Amino acid sequence: MTMIELAGLTTSAVPGFDADSAVSAYLATLDGAARERSDSYFEGGYWLILINAAVGLVVAFILLQSGFARTVRDKAEAWMPWRWLAIPLFVIAWSLATSVLTFPLTLYEGFIREHAYNLSTMTLPAWLGEWAMQLLVSTIMGAVFLTVFYVMIRAAKAAWWLWGAGIAIVFMAFALLIAPVYIEPLFNDYTPMEEGELRDDILAVAHANGIPADDVYVFDVSRQSNRITANVSGLFGTTRIALSDTLVEQADADEVLAVMGHEIGHYVLNHIWEMFIYFGVLLALGLAFADGLFKWANKRFGQRWGVKDIGDIAGLPLLSACLTIFFLVTTPVYNRIVYTNEAEADIFGLNAAREPDGFATVALRLSSYRKISPSGWEEFMFFDHPSGQSRVAMAMDWKAGQLEMGADDQSSDLRIDRAEQISAELEAANSD
């Protein structure tokens, strides 16, 4: 048996089926303007990481240097009989001011750029309505979280950064618990999936892997985008299996099962709980970093800004700026954490759904907005999911292994006809 390497993954060759040739055949179907457009969109995201961080720092500086933070704090504390009640008032004002100052970039990223690449289906009024709803939800939840957070800072003193990370994790868990019931329905309608073989197959895979679900839901992503997506979301009694109407309409049954196998893998492999731990550690390090940088900056400029100490709510823009710097620098670390979980879910999904060709063609569909064949350093630095090339290689390696073991439910035939159809659809979308 010969072995080759592609994108860091090992593929195999077996009689009648060569994994390397299969990968090349699938990737060759996606070429021309569609691939160039996908690469351009994704590579533009590299710059947006830096631009978003820079804009965040500039906004924080404006709110501090202009006296906005100091003035709002003073007025809020004068109006409130207890100091802690001034915190949610300040957070509301800070959230609104930040959203207004960053609105041009938000509009470009969320609406103008998405339409330029034919990824959005929203009109401007509809997009503005969702932006306002997201602002309302995030402001309310932010006010509650940051009130508890700042009360804790003032009580914990030197160890505030450790307690802060713990409180953040608790709030993340709470948000995941209530999201399927109270938040997600604000933006999309969830309806039970039509009865049939595909629904039964999805539930069969879910039940075989211990997911307590009695139904599958379809949500109308098409009102916002033509992307395909799915999830197994919620915690405890709110767990829900859901897939987008775009996935149901655009993909074949084996592709849908491949996607759902991946999403079920996240649940079964306890990736939600793993991410709580990883993010908690990363956030604790970030808050410790922010503590030191905040003290240095406040010592130099705090008198001008009117910020007393780390427990002063007027210092929230400065604390936000410190965290922005930390998370910008650690972007590859965070990406690698998520990437590892996504790769694990890919492998689980292949074993659960047993649809390698469906998995491969879905990877081609996702290339409408993800660069399919990045360089090694690009995939390490900027990808939080395996690239399409890596995923096709993984699927073909899995298929080769099954054929080698004599699996009677795996054909050596490829779905090149479908891959070519996907490429044609992307080319058509590109020319619209």
In-domain check, residue 342 = no
Strand order in the sheet with 190-192: 190-192, 216-219, 240-244, 230-233
Please tell me whether residues 291 and 247 are part of one structural domain. no
Taken in order 267, 180, 201, 369, the sign of the CA dihedral is negative
Given this model, what pLDDT does residue 423 score?
83
Q: Are 237 and 180 in contact (CB under 8 A)?
A: no
* Neighbour-count burial of 149, counting CB atoms closer than 10 A to its CB (0-12 exposed, 13-18 middle, 19+ buried): buried
Q: Are 357 and 392 in contact (CB under 8 A)?
A: no
**Tens of each residue's pLDDT in the chain, 432 residues:** 333 333 334 444 455 789 999 999 999 998 778 889 999 999 999 999 999 999 999 999 999 999 999 999 999 999 988 888 999 999 999 999 999 999 999 999 999 999 999 999 999 999 999 999 999 999 999 999 999 999 999 999 889 999 999 999 999 999 988 888 889 999 999 999 999 999 999 999 999 998 888 899 999 999 999 999 999 987 777 789 999 999 999 999 999 999 999 999 999 999 999 999 999 999 999 999 999 999 999 999 989 999 999 999 999 999 999 999 999 999 999 999 999 999 999 999 999 999 999 999 999 999 989 999 999 999 999 999 999 999 999 999 999 998 888 766 667 778 788 888 888 887 777 666
In-domain check, residue 324 = yes
N-terminal to C-terminal alpha carbon distance within the chain: 46
Q: Are 209 and 264 in contact (CB under 8 A)?
A: yes
In-domain check, residue 419 = no
Distances in whole angstroms, Cα of residue 388 to Cα of each of 9, 35, 201, 374, 392: 12, 12, 25, 9, 6
In-domain check, residue 260 = yes
In-domain check, residue 407 = no
Exposure string of 295-313, with b = 16+ CB inside 10 Å and e = fewer, is: eebbeeebeebbbeebebb
* The amino acid at 239: T
In-domain check, residue 13 = no
Please tell me whether residues 169 and 317 are part of one structural domain. yes
Domain of 259, CATH number, reads 3.30.2010.10
Please tell me whether residues 62 and 124 are part of one structural domain. yes
Please tell me whether residues 218 and 195 are part of one structural domain. yes
Tell which of 289, 305, 333 closes a domain.
333
Please tell me whether residues 236 and 151 are part of one structural domain. no
Please tell me whether residues 290 and 234 are part of one structural domain. no
Domain that holds residue 153: 38-186+272-333
* Radius of gyration (C-alpha) of the chain in whole angstroms: 24
Tell which of 333, 363, 378 closes a domain.
333
Please tell me whether residues 130 and 96 are part of one structural domain. yes
Please tell me whether residues 178 and 282 are part of one structural domain. yes
**Nearest partner of 389 among 124, 60, 32, 22, judged by Cα:** 22
Please tell me whether residues 146 and 163 are part of one structural domain. yes
d(CA 367, CA 373): 9
Given this model, what pLDDT does residue 427 score?
77
d(CA 330, CA 46): 14
Tell which of 280, 313, 333 closes a domain.
333
d(CA 396, CA 365): 17
In-domain check, residue 30 = no
pTM as predicted: 0.90
In-domain check, residue 406 = no
Please tell me whether residues 162 and 280 are part of one structural domain. yes
Q: Are 238 and 185 in contact (CB under 8 A)?
A: no
For every residue of the chain, which 3-state class applies, written as one string? CCEEEECCEEEEEECCEEHHHHHHHHHHCCCCHHHHHHHHHHHHHHHHHHHHHHHHHHHHHHHHHCCHHHHHHHHHHHHCCCHHHHHHHHHHHHHHHHHHHCHHHHHHHHHHHHHHCCCECCCHHHHHHHHHHHHHHHHHHHHHHHHHHHHHHHHHHHHHHHHHHHHHHHHHHHHHHHHHHHHHHHCCCEEECCCCHHHHHHHHHHHHCCCCCCCEEEECHHHCECCCCEEEECCHHHCEEEEEHHHHHHCCHHHHHHHHHHHHHHHHCCHHHHHHHHHHHHHHHHHHHHHHHHHHHHHHHHHHHCCCCCCCHHHHHHHHHHHHHHHHHCHHHHHHHHHHHHHHHHHHHHHHHCCHHHHHHHHHHHHHCCCCCCCHHHHHHHCCCCCHHHHHHHHHHHHHHHHHCCCCCCCCCCCHHHHHHHHHHHHHHHHC
**Nearest partner of 251 among 224, 221, 271, judged by Cα:** 221
Please tell me whether residues 196 and 121 are part of one structural domain. no
d(CA 16, CA 278): 43
d(CA 333, CA 384): 10
Please tell me whether residues 240 and 321 are part of one structural domain. no
Total count of domains within the chain: 2
* Neighbour-count burial of 75, counting CB atoms closer than 10 A to its CB (0-12 exposed, 13-18 middle, 19+ buried): middle
